[in-house]
Amino acid sequence: MVTLVVRDYDEAIAWYTQMLGFSLVDDTALSETKRWVVVAPEGIGARLLLAKADDDTQKARIGNQTGGRVALFLHTDDFPVDYAKMVKAGIHFLEEPRHEPYGSVAVFEDLYGNKWDLLELK
C-alpha cells in the first residue's frame, strides 16, 4: 500500500473510483476529521491509501509528492483499450502514447496533478 496525500477524501474517492475505475476497499472514520480510505485497481494487489492533508506542510505536497516526477505506475495488459477508456473518461494525458523497447507508456495526471504512467510491459 502506498500513501497519497489528498485535499479531500470524498473528491479523491470519486476521482479514483469513477475516473480510474478503482474499487473503494475501505472508508472507516477514525475521528471527526480523519478517515482510513483505501482504493485499489481491479484485480491488482496494490492499494492506495488516500490521506487527507492535516497542515500547511502536507497541503503543499498535494499533487507534487515526487518533485514533478512520475509518482505511480498503473500497469495494464491491454494498453490501447485502457488508454481509450481513460481518454473517454476525461483523464488528462500529458503526452501521446509512446512505444519504448520495454513496452507502451503514456503519462497522465490525477485530479491533483500527480503524474502516473499507464504502462504495458512487453
**36 and 72 inside one domain:** no
Q: Which amino acid is at 13?
A: I
Q: Is the pLDDT of residue 73 over 90?
A: yes
Reported as type and span, the H/E element at residue 94 is none
- pTM of the predicted structure, to 2 decimals: 0.90
Residue 92 near residue 100 (C-beta atoms within 8 A): no
Q: Is the pLDDT of residue 26 over 80?
A: yes
How far apart are alpha carbons 94 and 104 in whole angstroms? 15
pLDDT of amino acid 23: 96
**69 and 55 inside one domain:** no
Give the CATH number for residue 21.
Answer: 3.10.180.10
**54 and 72 inside one domain:** no
**88 and 122 inside one domain:** yes
Residue 41 near residue 35 (C-beta atoms within 8 A): no
Domain interval for residue 77: 63-122
**34 and 67 inside one domain:** no
Q: How confident is the model at residue 42 (pLDDT cuts 50, 70, 90)?
A: confident
Shortest CA distance to 13 belongs to which of 30, 35, 43? 35
**How many structural domains comprise the chain?**
2
Q: Which amino acid is at 12?
A: A
Last residue of a domain, one of 15, 45, 62: 62
**38 and 70 inside one domain:** no
pLDDT of amino acid 122: 94
Q: Which amino acid is at 108?
A: F
